[in-house]
Amino acid sequence: MSNDAEAAVEVIQSRGASDPIEVAFVLGTGLGNMAEAIVNPVAIPYSELPGFPKLSISGHDGRLVLGKMEDTNVAVMQGRSHYYENGDPRAMNGPLETLAMLGAHTVILTASAGSVKHDFFPGGLMLVTDHVNFNGLNPLIGVASDGGFVSLTEAYDPRLNKRLKRAVIRAGVTLHEGVYMWFAGPSFETPAEIKMARALGADAVGMSIVPEVIIARRLGVRVAAVTLLTNFGAGFQGGNPSHSQTRDAAAQGAIGLRRLLRAFLRTKEEAWGAQQTT
Ligand code: HPA
């Protein structure tokens, strides 16, 4: 683990958040208000945490909030760093290492995304079942020894996905499932790129998640990712996304996402391969 992560853990523990974390959430643009549901929260601005991002994008709060939600010790990152902010695919390495050191065995990533599937309408939620790393960038490039050869065969943990799908009923939301394609951003895609994304098997496109999944898998942390579809991709069904549109749509859709994630915390892990009961 890096010195930054060790130093960040020290800061966090010195603020009284010393219980081991079970589940961590990374909240994307406009999705940060989920942390309001935390009981007895300890909130620490990223600026006080070594290795955490300096956020420059509107819609991101930039705080780590720790505490209890649905009887579970959680850590919530309100805002993330993106590759397009600094050209570094490892930008989320420090925070994810910190979460792993705090005990988080599970990370749930959230982000807004553009739909490239006709019946995945803006406002809907999509569980990411797999990704296409269209950038070809990898946060593990340069990792010494064999540690970089991380398997991504079940990168989006099937057991967590099963729990999220069970949570849907309680939360009263619809959850699509599909493949997420990572673009560097920050400009949105062209209509030709969106056509390509669809042809190559994508259901949604976005500017985050993928490097975080790769880093988390290297750390042995289980991952699931839920995207909020804020718009249709450029040129697709009339899609012409803008930052203000995606931010406003995220704020509206955040309510359903928050319900889903709280319902997820109430689901119990089933024995691997056991019959689904709810
Ligand atoms: N493209 C890339 N990222 C996004 C989009 C999009 O259309 N919408 C929200 N995030």
The answer to whether residue 200 is domain-embedded is yes
- pTM to 2 decimal places: 0.93
User: Could you tell me the distance, in angstroms and rounded to a whole number, from the CA of residue 175 to the centre of ligand 1?
Assistant: 18
Protein residues whose CB sits closer than 6 Å to any atom of ligand 1:
112-114, 183, 188-189, 205-207, 230-231, 233, 241, 246
CA 7 / ligand 1 centre spacing (Å): 34
Residue at 95 is within a domain = yes
Q: Of ligand 1's atoms, which has the minimum distance to the CA of residue 183?
A: 2
Pocket test for ligand 1, best of 227, 231, 242, 245 (most atoms within 8 A of CB): 231
pLDDT, position 276: 46
Q: What CATH number corresponds to the domain at position 231?
A: 3.40.50.1580
Residue 274, pLDDT above cutoff 90: no
DSSP state of 19: S
Averaged pLDDT of the chain: 91
Q: Quick one: which of 97, 92, 82 has its CA closest to 219?
A: 97
Instruction: Give the SS3 label for residue 78.
Output: strand
**Quick check: is 159 in a domain?**
yes
> What pLDDT is recorded for position 143?
83
pLDDT digits (tens, 9 = 90+) for 135-182: 999 999 988 778 889 999 999 999 999 999 999 999 999 999 999 999
Q: Which atom of ligand 1 is nearest to the CA of 207?
A: 3
**Substitution candidate for ligand 1 out of 60, 109, 112, 196 with most atoms within 8 A of CB:** 112
Is residue 58 over pLDDT 70? no
Number of domains in the chain: 1
Residue pair 97/212 in contact by the 8 Å Cβ criterion: no
67-87: average pLDDT: 94
Q: What pLDDT does 57 receive?
A: 60
Lowest mean pLDDT among 18-27, 56-65, 106-115, 170-179: 56-65
The pLDDT of residue 157 is 98
Q: CA-to-CA distance for 31 and 59, rounded, in angstroms? A: 8
Largest CA-CA distance found in the chain, in angstroms, rounded:
51
The residue whose CA is least distant from atom 6 of ligand 1 is: 114
CA distance 58 to 145: 39
Place of tokens 């990411």: 128
In DSSP terms, 27 is beta-bridged to: 78
Centre of ligand 1 from the C-alpha of residue 127, in Å: 15
Tell me the per-residue pLDDT of 94-143, one tens digit each, with 9 for 90 and over: 999 999 999 999 999 999 999 999 999 999 999 999 999 999 999 999 88
φ, ψ (nearest 5 deg) of residue 25: -120, 140
138 by Cβ neighbours in 10 Å (0-12 / 13-18 / 19+) ranks as middle
79 pLDDT more than 80: yes
Give me the pLDDT at residue 277, please. Answer: 44
In-domain check, residue 275 = no
Residue 147 burial (CB < 10 Å; 0-12/13-18/19+)?
exposed
User: What pLDDT, in 10s, does the model give residues 181-222?
Assistant: 999 999 999 999 999 999 999 999 999 999 999 999 999 999
Ligand 1 mean position, distance from CA 207 (Å): 7
Using CA positions, which residue lies closest to atom 10 of ligand 1? 113
Residue 65 belongs to what domain range?
A: 3-268
Residue 51, domain member (yes or no):
yes
CA distance 179 to 117: 10
State residue 206 phi and psi, 5-degree precision.
-165, 180
* 274 lies in some domain: no
**Range of 13-17, 54-58, 195-199 with top mean pLDDT:** 195-199
Count of residues making up the chain:
278
- The DSSP secondary structure of 96-114, one letter per residue, reads HHHHHHTT--EEEEEEEEE
